[in-house]
């Protein structure tokens, strides 16, 4: 997913096209490939697995986080991530099954923000979601700076020279994008206007519009590519310390 996003954004940066692509646009780009719908179906299954893992981390504490403020904050961030990727999974599945394609862009964020704003204390709820995304972005950025991923992802010594900077760079880039997205949501909550909400596409467009934006946009594109490769490293090397059946039986009351 992030390799697609980063690749499309990098193409825009190199050729001066400008304008970031959102998650749905990245997915729909697969349709132009041979067996594209099959590839999209596989991506949607992968996203479903990712959503279930995020919910397991958040609801079931699959990572055995401490029951303190930091632990609950991390688990809350996992739930937010799971919910966001659930929407993306349905989008990929509908494209794969030819049930109608998402228009992409920030429309998903606008729809979700509009629904939240219609609830009692809607602006407060949207502000809390923005706080959660900002916290998740800050945590990811710090995770990259401090090499916190090493705790659960022991890298092979021979490949550490390139795996370490790749992982750090990818995490910092994604954390930065999350921080920008949270800013859009804060503004939407303050103005009670879902039109102000934005997602990945709007975050990349914001970077492109900054001074030296094309350079920054290129750096961000490389960062998204790096995060995609970091995800593959996680799939290979991440240690999952979940309780097995014997541990559960031993801890169960008699």
Consecutive sets of 10 residues in the chain, 254 residues long: mean pLDDT of each?
86 69 74 84 92 90 83 83 84 81 51 78 86 87 92 89 94 93 88 80 86 88 94 90 60 50
* Residue 109 and residue 76 in one domain: no
pLDDT at 104: 45
- 98 and 162 both lie in a single domain: no
Nearest alpha-carbon partner for 59 in 36, 37, 83, 30 = 83
Distance CA 103, CA 80 (A): 22
In a domain, 124, yes or no: yes
Question: What local confidence, expressed as pLDDT, does residue 201 receive?
Answer: 81
Same domain, 98 and 191: no
Q: Residues with Cβ < 8 Å from 47, sequence gap 6 or more? A: 1, 85, 88, 89, 92
pLDDT of residue 253: 52
Tell me, what's the pLDDT at 226?
Answer: 95
Residue 21: the pLDDT is 63
The answer to whether residues 64 and 138 belong to one domain is no
Number of domains in the chain: 2
Q: Are residues 88 and 199 in the same domain?
A: no
Q: Whose CA is closest to 22, among 161, 130, 177?
A: 177
Structural domain boundaries, residue 32: 23-104
pLDDT at position 146 is 93
Query: Which one of 66, 86, 104 terminates a domain?
Result: 104
Co-location of 151 and 41 in the same domain: no
116 plus 50 within the same structural domain: no
Same domain, 176 and 232: yes
Indicate whether 85 belongs to any domain.
yes
Which of 104, 132, 150 is a domain's end point?
104
Looking at the structure, tell me whether residues 113 and 225 fall in a common domain: yes
Identify whether 249 is part of a domain: no
**Both 142 and 224 in a single domain?**
yes
């Amino acid at each position: 997913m992030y390799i697609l996003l980063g690749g499309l954004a990098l193409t825009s940066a190199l050729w001066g096209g400008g304008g970031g692509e959102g998650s749905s646009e990245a997915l729909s780009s697969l349709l132009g490939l041979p067996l594209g719908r099959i590839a999209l179906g596989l991506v949607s299954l992968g996203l479903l697995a990712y959503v279930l893992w995020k919910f397991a981390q958040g609801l079931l504490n699959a990572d055995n986080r401490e029951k303190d403020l930091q632990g609950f904050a991390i688990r809350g961030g996992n739930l937010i991530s799971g919910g966001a990727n659930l929407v993306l999974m349905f989008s990929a599945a509908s494209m794969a099954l030819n049930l109608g394609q998402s228009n992409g862009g920030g429309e998903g964020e606008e729809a979700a923000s509009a629904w939240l704003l219609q609830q009692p204390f809607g602006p407060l709820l949207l502000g809390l979601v923005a706080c959660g995304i900002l916290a998740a972005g800050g945590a990811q950025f710090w995770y990259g700076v401090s090499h916190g991923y090493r705790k659960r992802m022991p890298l092979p010594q021979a490949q550490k020279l390139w795996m370490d900077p790749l992982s750090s760079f990818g995490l910092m880039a994604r954390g930065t994008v999350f921080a920008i997205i949270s800013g859009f949501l804060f503004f939407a909550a303050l103005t009670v206007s879902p039109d102000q909400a934005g997602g990945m596409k709007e975050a990349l467009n914001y970077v492109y519009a900054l001074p030296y934006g094309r350079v920054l946009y290129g750096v961000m594109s490389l960062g998204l590519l790096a995060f995609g490769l970091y995800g593959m490293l996680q799939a290979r090397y991440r240690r999952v310390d979940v309780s097995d059946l014997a541990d559960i039986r031993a801890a169960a009351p008699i």
